[in-house]
Structure 1
Amino acid sequence: MTEVYFHCSDASHDLIDSRGTAVSDLSEACAHGRRLVHAMMTAPNAEDWRGWELRATDELGVDLFVIPFASVIGRLH
């Protein structure tokens, strides 16, 4: 198990994950990150999520991957 931190930001906001989440591998971390992005976008609010991204880091602060929120939104009809 390793701790992964899921930070979310756009040009004017930074939401820093100071607790982290224990995951067994990178695949589990990616799945958890996509669930977090989806949960944030579906919560009742007026935020425009298109410019946001989730950045996952390890306990040393090394970037593991980035998920742009726009990639989870999908194509507009």
Structure 2
Amino acid sequence: MADYSTAQELPTSGIFKGIVSGNARVKSGSNLEVKGIINGDLFIETGSKVLVSGIVDGRVVNDGGDVELTGIIGG
């Protein structure tokens, strides 16, 4: 299991269009589109549904969520 302890928690629903300076986390049970920029890793918890159409400068770490990647992934 990934260590989410220092990652910024993203909203649980809707569209995220902001910028995160560091790692980010999508909490279990979320339904979110990430259109913004994550300047670190994106951690996705079990039971969440995520569409990444923005930019993740690090890795996308899927810990059991439903993930679709259409954006730019750097790690």
Shorter-chain TM range is under 0.3
Which structure's CA Rg is the greater one?
A: 1
More strand by percentage: 2
Q: Which has the higher contact order (CA 8 A, sep 6+)?
A: 1
* TM-score, L = length of structure 1: 0.27
Q: TM-score, normalised by structure 2?
A: 0.27
Q: Higher helix proportion, which one?
A: 1
